[in-house]
Amino acid sequence: MKYPNIAAERARKGMTQDQLCKELNVCRKTLWNWENKGKIPMKKVELMAKLFGVSADYLLDGKPAP
């Protein structure tokens, strides 16, 4: 997984993939591709950071959360 912190923060917030997809207005396949392959539009990274209460840098760090 290229961006494990996205999935980790989603889990911490108790959000399902479907709930996050709805918040971001994307389909599950798009979310999966972002988490595993990258190329996430910056506006969506910023929205996820705001939803999770973390920095965009942290979400894109690629290192698992402590």
pLDDT tens digit string along 6-18? 989 999 999 999 9
**List of residues 6+ apart from 33 with CB closer than 8 A:** 39
Q: Residue 66 has what pLDDT?
A: 58
Q: Which domain holds residue 46?
A: 4-59
pLDDT tens digit string along 19-66? 999 999 999 999 999 888 888 999 999 999 999 999 999 998 866 555
Residue 65 placed within a domain? no
pTM of the complete model = 0.86
Residue 37 placed within a domain? yes
Q: Residue 65 has what pLDDT?
A: 58
Residue 35 placed within a domain? yes
CA distance 3 to 59: 7
Q: How many domains does the chain have?
A: 1
